[in-house]
Amino acid sequence: MKFAVIADIHANLEALQVVLEDTKQQGCTHYVCLGDVVGYNANPRECLEIIRAMALPCVKGNHDEYCSMEDKLDGFNPHAAEAVNWTRAQLTADDKQWLRDLKYVRMVQTFTIVHATLDGPPRWGYVFDKLAAAASFPYQNTQVCFFGHTHVPVAFVRDGTVIRGGTYSKFRMEAGKKYFVNVGAVGQPRDSNPKAAYVVFDPREGTIELRRLEYDIAAAQKKILAAGLPPRLAERLAYGR
């Protein structure tokens, strides 16, 4: 059994297709999604259709929440607000209901999934450093919890009272330690690496492997511009920012 752990697809169909193809080549048999299926890029309905058809455990991201409600977007970054309004207009009532029904946190077999942090999941805090990871660990009842939201792949490890954090490519979990692992973003990476990211998790081996994949960025960019979304959202895909 191997899990593909995917997060922050953000309506990027080109990236999602390449990732799903790779999961097959990697022998993934199970899937989980950490939320933000929609928002920013140009194919929210197509991406939602794929994810819904997979009937996989999925938790709610902040964009899933914003795009499925009708609330005003006060205090939003203008580009994000524009993308949310555009996405709201694309989604069907049924899509929005599906997004609204997503839970903030889920246990899947022996691990936990959350979009942002276990420390008050609906507040959408960003875990970039050990301090923020330290606030999440007390709520983590499994050896590993996967999260997204920052679009920056990083692994935090708690060993007794000591917490370390850093980038990773592949590692094996050790008994007695807890892991809080960001799997990076499928559809809008922000670690200065434009390649799509996801994780292959083998629960029996206890291994966690970060995959990075090239995809047709130019095609995704063209669609963003053609849709009338902010050009900045197309540009950032090329830089991974």
CB of residue 63 vs Zn ion: minimum separation in angstroms? Answer: 6
**Residue 173 C-beta: closest distance to Zn ion, Å:** 25
Q: Which of residues 29-88 bind Zn ion (CB under 5 A)?
A: 36
Shortest reach from residue 1's CB to Zn ion, in Å: 27
Whichever of 80 and 213 has its CB closer to Zn ion, that residue is 80
Say if strands 3-6 and 30-33 run parallel, antiparallel, or are unpaired.
Answer: parallel
Do the beta carbons of residue 52 and residue 78 sit within 8 Å?
Answer: no
3-state SS of 32-87 is EECCCCCCCCCCHHHHHHHHHHHCCCEECCHHHHHHCCCCCCCCCCHHHHHHHHHH
With contacts defined by CB under 5 A, name the span among 4-12, 20-28, 167-175, 221-229 that binds Zn ion. Answer: 4-12
Is 95 a binder of Zn ion (CB under 5 A)? no
The count of residues interacting with Zn ion (CB under 5 A) is 2
CA dihedral angle for residue 55, residue 1, residue 198, residue 149, rounded to 10 degrees: 60
**Residue number, 8 or 65, with CB nearest to Zn ion:** 8
Closer of 170 and 232 to Zn ion (Cβ): 232
Minimum separation from the CB atom of position 171 to Zn ion (A): 24
Determine how β-strand 196-202 pairs with β-strand 3-6: antiparallel
Stretch that binds Zn ion, among 28-36, 48-56, 91-99, 225-233 (CB under 5 A): 28-36
Within a 10 A sphere around the Cβ of 49, how many other Cβ atoms?
13
Beta carbon of residue 93, minimum distance to Zn ion (angstroms, whole number): 23
- If the CB atoms of residues 146 and 178 are measured against Zn ion, the closer one turns out to be 146
Residue 201: phi and psi, rounded to 5, are: -115, 120
Contact of 104 with 136, CB cutoff 8 Å: no
Question: Smallest gap, in angstroms, from Cβ of residue 2 to Zn ion?
Answer: 24
Q: What is the DSSP string of 140-158?
A: --SSEEEE-SS---EEEEE
* Residue (184 or 203) nearer to Zn ion, CB: 184
Q: Which two tokens stand for residue 109?
A: 């077999």
C-beta of 173 vs 181, nearer to Zn ion: 181
Of these, 5, 8, 43, 194, which contacts Zn ion (CB under 5 A)? Answer: 8
Which stretches of the chain bind Zn ion, using CB under 5 A?
A: 8, 36
